[in-house]
Amino acid sequence: NFMLTQPHSVSGSPGKTVTISCTRSSGNIASTYVQWHQQRPGSAPTNVIYEDNRRPFGVPDRFSGSLVSSSNSASLTISGLKTEDEADYYCQSYDNVNHLWVFGGGTKLTVL
Amino acid sequence: EVQLVESGGGLVKPGASLRLSCAVSGITFGSYSMNWVRQAPGKGLEWVSSISASSSNIYYGDSVKGRFTVSRDNAKSLLYLQMHSLRAEDTAVYYCARELLSFDYWGQGTLVTVSS
């Protein structure tokens, strides 16, 4: 089984840009899609990125996803930060050898 | 409007059993794989189990394998999680989620507390 490692926390000021990384421990990050979920305090998660870089309907284009092959990682970038973006963010990918879903440990985004 | 509503959570003693339900509306339930995901208090998300649309493919996370059983009733648009031999470390909010390219719809969760 592989693991997905995220930074515990990141922060940014309103209007600025932050990037959250998600590093895969083994196997190629590009071998299965990466998803990103946002979880505001006291709420259920909501999907903000699927298939590495696609946004569900209704998610603003301030949210973007990408893969960084050199570090075997995925990234979630949020531009034009708003206070409403303050939340926990989780990356997710599929282990198609063992047939299980893997979540990263989550990153707490603080908008200062 | 798509809705996923979990129920069945509560306070149980270690070793007890509990069955969770997830009622789904607003989609053709029988066309999609479904998943259970849990979140211990103050912790991150942990995938628990998945079941394919026809129930032909079922998978579990290592921490629940052999103790939990997932099932579904497509005629009633219901997803279930039967939990046996519950442990303190199973204490969590349990979410059901539809799987379509991602986990695109989530319920609000039901809290399971395992404590003596």
Q: State which amino acid sits at residue B47.
A: W
Cα of A91 to nearest chain B Cα, Å: 10
Q: Do A102 and B44 touch (CB under 8 A)?
A: no
8-state DSSP, A51: T
Task: Give the tens place of pLDDT for each residue, A69-81.
Answer: 999 999 999 999 9
CA distances from A81 to A42, A89, B11, B105 (A): 21, 14, 40, 24
CA distances from B12 to A25, A85, B3, B115 (A): 36, 36, 27, 6
Instruction: Give the residue among A8, A10, A21 at the shortest CA–CA distance from A65.
Output: A21
CA distances from A62 to A48, A58, B74 (A): 11, 11, 38
Q: For chain B, how many residues are written?
A: 116
Mean pLDDT, chain B, whole residue set: 97
Asked if residue A110 has pLDDT above 90, the reply is: yes
Cα gap B108→B85, rounded to integer Å: 25
A96 near B CB under 8 A: no
Tally C-beta pairs within 8 A across A and B. 57
3-state secondary structure (DSSP) of residue B103: strand
A 30-89: CB under 8 A from B: 33, 35, 37, 39, 43-47, 50-51, 54, 56, 88
B36 near A CB under 8 A: no
A44, A56, A100 ranked by CB distance to B106: nearest: A44
B8 near A CB under 8 A: no
Asked if residue B101 has pLDDT above 90, the reply is: no
Q: What average pLDDT does this structure show over B80-109?
A: 97
The predicted structure's pLDDT at residue B34: 98
Q: What average pLDDT does this structure show over A54-63?
A: 97
Task: Give the tens place of pLDDT for each residue, A30-53.
Answer: 999 999 999 999 999 999 999 999
Rounded percentage of chain A residues whose pLDDT exceeds 90: 98
The predicted structure's pLDDT at residue A51: 97
3-state secondary structure (DSSP) of residue B26: coil
